[in-house]
Amino acid sequence: MKSTLLFLSLTLFAVQFAAAQKVYPTLGKVIYEDPAFEKLLPKTSQVEVLASGFDWSEGPVWNKDGGYLLFSDVPKNKVYKWEEKSGLSVFLEPSGYTGLGMYSDEEGSNGLIIDSKGRLVSCEHGDRRISAMPLKGGGKITLADKFEGKRFNSPNDVTEHSNGSYYFTDPPYGLSKKHEDNSREIQQFGVYRIAKDGKVTMEITDLTRPNGLAFSPDGKTLYIAQSDPEKAVLMSYPVDANGKIGTGKLLYDATPMVKAEKAGLPDGLKIDKDGNIWTSGPGGLLVLTPAGKLLGRIEMGELTSNCAWGDDGSTLYLTVDSYICRIKTGTKGAGW
């Protein structure tokens, strides 16, 4: 009888432990191109799938104060919230298009950040603007929706510099007919800066499909991913003390990987505390040194759009087509 009770007690403990320690399915495979990559992702590293069923997940950002992840589902015009205890919920709808009828197949918000003022800053495809919304109550305000009186194409990704300026990219992906849309008012797919006084300047004019962007830990370099299958590259640009962007140079060319039929393009990216670049790209996620050396990859087997640091700064959350994923790392994000 005692042995039966002991067995039942152990079984109950095992069930309770499993319930407390959620077990998630896994996806993808870590590829080590350089031995140094093991310090960033140990051999035991696995990508966990936290949620699924999205049309196109994008723009992940971790709210440090609330301890939860926010991300866009661009076609569904929603921002979702995910947290460990309660799982998934809709955080904001509509997220990027507030007009009547259907605007395009990617009308919602895309890139998201939480700025130094604690606001959710969104790249809104349908409303063609950069907006800011307090997370503790209050409506949105427009940070920028025009350059020299002309409407943006579809702001895609945004980052904030330590000097308080915002920088964002403006490709055509949110327009109904993309680059051929007759509502386009600006011919360049530019990279813009919103200064602290609200003035908007076009900082970069010669990229064909600028997409994700992020600053080095010291703020002196801006990295930009280009989602052009004919020139799928990661560029680096010097940033002067006044926030102006200098002449760029090629950091990494992923075009051969595209030509080798690895699915995906350079898209969203984030930086770790040592300046390494974690960027979506052909095949999944690429990890590069600040000098542009490929350390390793995470082959996802699905189109990977973006990533963000979360938890204590050592967990990397990934938006992967219809999935939300995470992987524990051996480093921390810049600024944590």
**Which residues sit in the known binding site for a divalent metal cation?**
58, 211, 267
Any bridge partners for residue 286, and if so which?
279, 297
* DSSP H or E segment with residue 259: helix 255-259
Q: Encoding tokens for residue 149?
A: 């009186």
For residues 325 and 323, give the distance between their C-alpha atoms in angstroms, rounded to a whole number: 6
For residues 290 and 190, give the distance between their C-alpha atoms in angstroms, rounded to a whole number: 24
CA angle 115/116/118 to nearest 5° reads 65
Question: Which positions ≥6 away from 177 have C-beta within 8 Å?
Answer: none
Residue 171: exposure state from Cβ atoms within 10 A (0-12, 13-18, ≥19): buried
Q: Encoding tokens for residue 221?
A: 């370099």
Catalytic residue among 73, 127, 157, 267: 267
Which residue do the tokens 């770790």 mark?
Answer: 272
For residues 154 and 324, give the distance between their C-alpha atoms in angstroms, rounded to a whole number: 24
Whether 267 is a known active-site residue: answer yes
Q: Active-site residue numbers? A: 267
